[in-house]
Amino acid sequence: MPFGRGAVIFGSLAAIGIVTAGCGTPQQVDTAANVASTADTTVSSDVPAGPAVELRAGNHGSEDRVVLEFFGVDGIEVLNHSLDEKPPVRGGSGEPIPGMTGTVFLHVVVVGVPATMIAPTSPTAYDLPIVKSAVVNDIEGGTLEAGVGLAASVDYEVKVEGNKIIVNMAQGPLGR
């Protein structure tokens, strides 16, 4: 099921849209980093010129979903994923990421990503039952790590569908 576009920052150009289909009740909390002024700015949801990843989340009934959609990249694979109480950190420096919220964190590592990948590096806050924040916290050596802040431990699944990595989460068992 397709999703609408979420907010992604590309240098000084902000591409903002509304997540509309496939997530039930989409949520995104506006922050200074992901709000564009419409006075002299054209708001667009065009696909970026170079390799990029877009991160979005939404709710559908008892489940929350996070999607990483890749543009200009073929052959992405999930290397591993884990759920723990350690918030994501910046690769290389190990510094904490200000703005990440949650009590439990899902870490997803993706391979097949170019070093020139454009990604949102500031956390996006969500007001969803499960998902509280998400960020791409590291792109290095052909890998990308995304961190998702959660309200509590969850049952989850991670799957690859074409150029998307989809993470479905539920407080109880997933309805599959």
Q: Output DSSP code: residue 46.
A: P
Per-residue model confidence (pLDDT) at position 154: 95
Per-residue model confidence (pLDDT) at position 48: 59
Name which residue leads in pLDDT, 28 or 146. Answer: 146
pLDDT tens readout for residues 132-175: 999 999 999 899 999 999 999 999 999 999 999 999 999 988 87
Q: What is the b/e burial string over 93-131, where b = at least 16 CB atoms within 10 angstroms of the residue's CB?
A: eeeebeebebebbbbbbbeebeeebbbbeebbbbebbbb
pLDDT at 21 over 60: no
pLDDT tens readout for residues 37-94: 223 333 345 555 779 999 999 998 899 999 999 999 989 999 999 999 999 999 888 9
Q: What is the pTM of this model?
A: 0.74
pLDDT tens readout for residues 118-129: 998 899 999 999
